Structures are given as structure tokens and as C-alpha cells.
A and B are shown apart, each in its own frame.
Chain A
Amino acid sequence: MKRKIKIGIAAAVAAAALAAFGGGTVRAANDLTPAQQKRQMFRRGAELWPIYCNTCHNARPGGEFSPTEWNMILMHMRTQANLPPQDANAILEYLKASR
């Protein structure tokens, strides 16, 4: 049993390390203006929204909730589905802007 716990801890550490380095694969487009970055996030969110949401349930359109409610729901969904932050932010941007 101790061995299993050790394996579990090692897996967690490996996952955390992978997260730290893996996160670097997505680079912020610093050379874009804020408006351009927002548009880019919107497009990315529009692409990811049906994919991430439909993984578990039917994707719900942005008009179903207010922007503040989407803030909370996306925080909740980040926990439920362990969404990566860039993708969660892009989906949030899309849902809030597509109302």
C-alpha cells in the first residue's frame, strides 16, 4: 500500500512538473493590441466551446446566463473539468461576447 501511495505522489509531482513546463506551449501574443487579443480569444473560444462543453453535456449558448454568472460558472467548470486556463478564458470571452 505504501508503494501505491508513493506512486500516487510521484504521479502528482510529475503532473505538476508537466503543467509547469507544458504551460509554456501556449504563448501570449504580446505584440497584439488589447482589442486584437480579445478578438483572437473570441475566435479561439468559439472553436473550443462546443468541443469542451460537449465532452460531458450539450453546450449551452452564451445567452442563457449573464456575464457575471458566466464568470462563476466557468470557475466551476474549470474545477469540474480541469480546464486549462487559456482555454477556459477563451471560452469565457466567447460566451460573454456572444450573448
Chain B
Amino acid sequence: MRGLARCAVLVAAVIAFAAVAAMADDMSVASGASDPGGTQEQQIREIRQELEFLERRVDQLENENGRLKKANAELQKNTQNLQKSTTQQISALQSQASESSSPQNFFDAMNRFLGRYRFTLVGGAAGSYIYDRNSNTNTFALDMEPIILWQLSDNLLFEGTVEANLPAGGSADFQLPVADFQYFLNDYAELVMGIFDQPFGDWYEDQSPFWVNRFVTAPLPFNVNPLIPPTEIGVQLRGGFQWGEMGQVADYTVWSGNGPGYSNSTCGANTPPSPLPTCPSTAFVGDTLVGVNNIKLNTHTPSFGGRFRIYPLPADSDWGRLELGVSTYDGKWENGLWLTSWGVDFNYFRDNLQMRGEWIESYRQMPAGLGSDNRQGWYVQAGYFLTGLKAPLIPSAANQYIDRLEPLIRYSGINQRAAVLGNIITTPEIGFTGSPALYAPHAREVALGLDYWFAPSVVWQNELDLELPRAGGFYSDTGAPVGAYPNDRAFVSQFAVGF
């Protein structure tokens, strides 16, 4: 660039020089050439001076241009630095703004404020209406079961359940079915100490809460006179592990506790059925298993129990979810006299269908002179959500209600030869403590249900209990057959919430 400028200046100078020379020739001719040599030299000097001046001027301009370029480069550099720092600052501010407003940050801040380990309240409540034809029962009942969970460390949790109910025809009743510490020893073993739901089978632990049980009442083997104690005080070791594909898991529970307890026959302290039996001269020893709160000083050897459960189907298969379980529970109910029991259970669900069932067998050694106490109990139930079922001829507006319905059916039965009058509840109740079927020692019951689900844990349940004409056996008080109410009907409606 600089060379071109210089070249241009020189060309201009040469042209100027030629022009001046030509003019000088003309002038010399015109003046008569008095001193032609001196005049030309003078002109040449002037031109040279002019050229030198122009060269200096070009140098000055080039220098100035260089300085300007340098200044411009510095300015550009400064601008880039400024842009870079501004971008960094904006990025930092954006990051700060997004971090401080994220749910995780809010959660962390709340935790710092409230403390990491706290308690929470879950559980359920239910209000029910009960009608029973034979006993002319027509009443309401209320039940509430709050569960307090208190996390004491990353591995330790306390669980306490209080059950409060206002049974039909009775005053308020309070029980403490669960109060235990749960300590995770490692990923595959956990220690549970305290009062806990009996881990035998699926019912007591997993199916008894109001909103979890699809029906209002419990199936007969877990009802008024259960075959296995509903709760136990003692210690458990339990855990689960994956053995195959995702969802193919198995789990185990072993436990030891105070053991089963039986109440004595109290013939006369009840409302007897008709025909009125005659009380025996000597009451049986321990006829009926003690119910929910099996908490008393037991001087016999502790009881032992074991449960193993397996889920053979992979989670991502289209075969549904199948659970198979086996359980055993054994303990002395009196010195030298054992209760031995075992059970099998299954649970299967796929899409809208759910089925489950259990079988329990128990054998109780009796004192000399009394017959053995061998009991069986079972139930099988099925339910089907009508979700997605577009019924023909029904307005589409009605389908949104039909979607929330779940029709159910359950068949359950017990053979319980040692039922005594004093422990037979003649009014059906919800939860653990009631079914009209217990009027009959050999009960068979069909329960038809229709649930309407407002939300996953809010349900209105309706149940019709049909006692099959299979009553028989005997009350152990009398040792003689007593006609029960084989064709009783009961209707129970319940609004249950899980919170």
C-alpha cells in the first residue's frame, strides 16, 4: 500500500516535471534565452525541493496512518475483551438466577431450615354404613388409622400406628397395632424391632389398610376370629433382592415374637344366638385367638415365623405381575402346646385385572382330653377396573364415571371348630373385626363389591355379603352343633381415604 502511494507520488512528480520542462522551453524561446542555463537549474532545484517536501509529507501521512491502525487494533482488542467479560457476567448471572429458583435449591434451602430428619403423617380414615338383615343392624361407624413415620437417620425409621374407631353399638376403641424401629443393616437386610403386623401372608402387612383393601370387610380367615395373630411383638430380619431381569425379585422375612395368645371361653358374656346353647360346666382353655393387640406377657417359648416371596415375571414383559409366597408361623400357646401353621398366597395383576388369594392351615395341640384344633381358612378375590371400557349405548359423558368403577368378587371360607360364643361378634364391622359370616363356625361367604375411585387413595366402596347355606359344626362352648345364620345378608358402604 505504502509502495503504491510512493509510486503514485513519483509518477505525479515526473508528469509535473515534464510539464514544467515544457513550460520552461516555451518561456526560454519567448524570452530570447538571455540566461537559459541558470533559469533551468533554478527551476529544477525548486522542483526537487517540491519533490522532497512531498516525500516528507507522504512519510508523515504514512506514519500517521500507522498510528491510527495501531490505535484501531487496540480498540478492537479492548472491545473484544469487554464483550467476553460481559458474556461471562451474563452467563454467571443467568446460572445464579436459575439455580436459586430451581425446585431442588428450594428443597435444599427448606431442608436446611427445617432440619433433615423429620416425621410425616400418613395412614387412612373411613366412615361406613352397615346394614345386616339378621341382627337388624342399621348404623354408621367410623375408623381412623394414622401412621407416624419418623426418620431418625439415613438407616433408621420409626413407625407408629394408632387405630381409633367408633364401632357400631360400642364406645370409642383404641389400639396400637404397630410401633417399631426399622433399621437397614445393608442393602439386603433390615432389622425390625417392636410391635408389627404379622408378616404371615399378604393380608396383615399389605392389604389391611382401608383404602388398600378393595373390600370393606376382611376375608374370613383374617376377620373376627383370625387363624394367625394379626400382630406380634418381637424382632424381624427381612430384605429383598433382584435375581433376574428387572422386576424379577424375591424377598424373605424371618421373625421371632411373643407367640400366640388365646382367650378363654366366657360363655354367657355375650348375646347368644338362637337357639340358646347350654354353657358347659368347664370352659375350654383358650378357645379363640386373641385379636389385633396380641400384647401380653408370654412366658412360653417365643414364636418363630418365616416368609418367602418371589416375583417370577420380568417387569417389562407383557405377562403382568405375579407374586407367589409361602409362610409359616409356629409358637407355644401354652406350656408344651404348640400352634403350628403354614400358608401359601398369590397375587396377579395385569392391566385392569387384579387377583389374589391365600390358603392357611393351622394345627393347635390341645390339653389332654380335648380334641385337636385343626383350622383352615382361604379366600380368593378378583377385581377389574372399567377404565378405558367404552360401553356401547351409553352417553360419552357417563363414561368418565364408568372409568372410575371397579367391580369385585371374593369367596372366602373358614373351618374353625373352636369358635366360642364369647368371641363371636354379632354385628358386622369394618376392618379386622367383623363379618356376619362369623356366626357360623364353618362359614362360606361370597362378597360382591363395587368401588368408585375418586383418586388413587380416595374410594367409595360398596359391599354385599352373602352367607352361603353351609353353616354347621359346633361352638366349642357346647360341643354341639348350633344352627347359625347361613343365609344372612349384609350390606356395607364405606368412604375411605388414604393420606
Contacts and interface: CB of A to CB of B under 8 A. Distances in A.
Interface of A: 1, 4-5, 8-9, 11-12, 15-16, 18-20, 22-23, 25-26, 44, 47-48, 51, 54-61, 65-69, 71-73, 75-76, 78-87, 99
Given A22-B242, A75-B151, A67 B107 contact: yes
Given A68-B118, A85-B188, A51 B315 contact: yes
B198 to A, nearest CB: 13
A68 B111 contact: yes
B115 to A, nearest CB: 10
B252 A73 contact: no
A90 B250 CA distance: 17
A99 B103 contact: yes
Contact of B247 (A22, A51, A71): A51
A79 B241 contact: no
Interface centre among A4, A19, A60 (most CB of B within 10 A): A19
A78 B154 CA distance: 13
A73 B122 CA distance: 9
26 contacts: A4-B328, A4-B340, A15-B252, A16-B188, A19-B189, A19-B241, A19-B252, A22-B250, A23-B187, A23-B188, A48-B315, A54-B354, A55-B321, A55-B347, A56-B207, A56-B212, A57-B456, A58-B457, A60-B457, A76-B157, A78-B190, A79-B157, A81-B206, A81-B240, A82-B239, A85-B187
Contacts of B330: 1, 4-5
Interface in B206-253: 206-207, 209, 211-212, 237-244, 246-247, 249-253
Interface stretch (B37-45, B132-140, B284-292, B301-309): B301-309
Contacts of A54: 321, 349, 354
B304 to A, nearest CB: 6
A26 B456 contact: no
Interface in B74-93: none
B254 interface: yes
A79 B453 contact: no
Contacts of A83: 240, 249
Q: Which 6 A-B pairs have the closest CB atoms?
A: A82-B251, A15-B252, A82-B240, A19-B188, A58-B456, A85-B187
Interface string B188-202: 111010000000001
B306 A12 contact: yes
B426 to A, nearest CB: 31
B212 A57 contact: yes
Contacts of B207: 56
A23 B321 contact: no
B323 interface: yes
Contacts of A68: 107, 111, 114, 116, 118, 120
Contacts of A79: 157, 159, 182, 190, 192, 238
Interface residues of B, number: 65
A75 B338 CA distance: 35
A57 B211 contact: yes
Contact of A61 (B157, B249, B456, B498): B456
A51 B247 CA distance: 8
B62 interface: no
B59 interface: no
A23 B242 contact: yes
A73 B149 contact: yes
B50 interface: no
B46 interface: no
A85 B107 CA distance: 23
Contacts of B202: 56
B205 interface: yes
Contacts of B114: 68
Given A47-B315, A68-B118, A72-B157, A19 B239 contact: yes
B316 interface: yes
A55 B239 contact: no
B252 A1 contact: no
Contacts of B498: 57, 60
Contacts of A4: 328, 330, 340
B306 A87 contact: no
A63 to B, nearest CB: 11
Given A51-B315, A84-B249, A8 B244 contact: no
Contacts of A66: 107
A4 B205 CA distance: 24
